[in-house]
Structures are given as structure tokens and as C-alpha cells.
Amino acid sequence: MRKAVVGVMGGSSVSESVYEMARELGRRIAERGWVLLNGGRDQGVMAASAKGAKEAGGFVVGILPDKTDERAAPDLDIAIMTAMGDGRNLINVLSSDVVVACPGALGTLSEITYALKHEKTVILLGREPEPSFQHYAKRGQLLTAANPEEAVEQVASVLLNR
């Protein structure tokens, strides 16, 4: 049986508190034995979640928008270059069993939208749902978490019921 893949999406430019939240999230994902997948870059939520996962002995896959790994996070086990720019956001969510969306800007919003459109469960961590996404919240496809521990518990529940 293959390991679950948890996508962690979020901004490339974040506050220290969001960075630490993403790092803890990565650590907790690794402690559960899940694969962490993110956008692969060496900044923001991507770097923080990868770092946390590696510190806990986890496995990290990064889907980079570039054609080289020059800007790849140092804690990736596998770096996949796409040369697709933001187009790689669809690959991020389709390759994830569940998506945890941390604070970010339009790239993160596109990943949330793609995930919902393709019937993936999205857990919002540190961000509120967009008003246009209320339908998905009512269906149980869009969840919110107050902290990384709660987010990981929700991931576990989603994986158990898939």
C-alpha cells in the first residue's frame, strides 16, 4: 500500500509566525509517516514545511515551477522540475491525497481552487475560507484548522475515510 501524500501549499513570502507554523506542520506530517509534497522552493511555507518534515525524518517531494533546481529547498528528497511556472500548481494538488493550505497569495488561492474543483479535501490553516467557497465548506470538502496539530488530525480523518 502506498504512503499517503499530503500537499502543503502556502506563500513564498510569509511572516516568522507562519514560517514556524508551516515548519511544525511539516514535522507533524512526517511523524505520521506521510509524504509531504509542496512547491519545492527554498522560501516561505515551502522551505519551512520541508525543513520540519526532514527534521522529523520525513520524506519530501517538491514540484518546482522551474527547469532547474537552483531555487529548490535544501530539504527535498525529490525535486521535480516542470518549467511550467504557476501551471505546476495543478500538479501539486492532483498529486496530493489531501491539501493543507497555509497563508499565501494568489498562487495558494489557485491551488485551493484546483483542489476543490478536482474534489480534493482542503484544510485551511491560518486562513479563512473565501466567501465563494462556502458551498465546499457545507459539503465537508473545505475544512479549517486552528493549528498544525488540528490540521494533522483532520488529515488523518480524511485519509481514514477515503
Query: Mean pLDDT of all residues in the chain?
Result: 96
pLDDT at 1 over 80: no
Read off the pLDDT band of 84 (50, 70, 90): very high
Which residue range is the domain that position 12 belongs to? 5-160
Among the listed residues 68, 49, 60, 58, the one whose alpha carbon sits nearest the alpha carbon of residue 31: 58
| pLDDT at residue 130 in the model | 86
Which pTM was predicted?
0.96
Task: Count how many domains the chain has.
Answer: 1
Q: In what order do the strands lie in the sheet with 98-101?
A: 78-81, 59-64, 35-38, 5-9, 98-101, 121-125, 142-145
C-alpha 114/C-alpha 128 separation (Å) is 17
DSSP sequence for 70-86 = TTB-TT-SEEEE---GG
Decide: 55 and 27 in contact? Cβ < 8 Å.
yes
Residue 135 sits in a domain whose CATH number is: 3.40.50.450
Condensed to tens digits (0 to 9), the pLDDT of residues 86-104 reads: 999 999 999 999 999 999 9
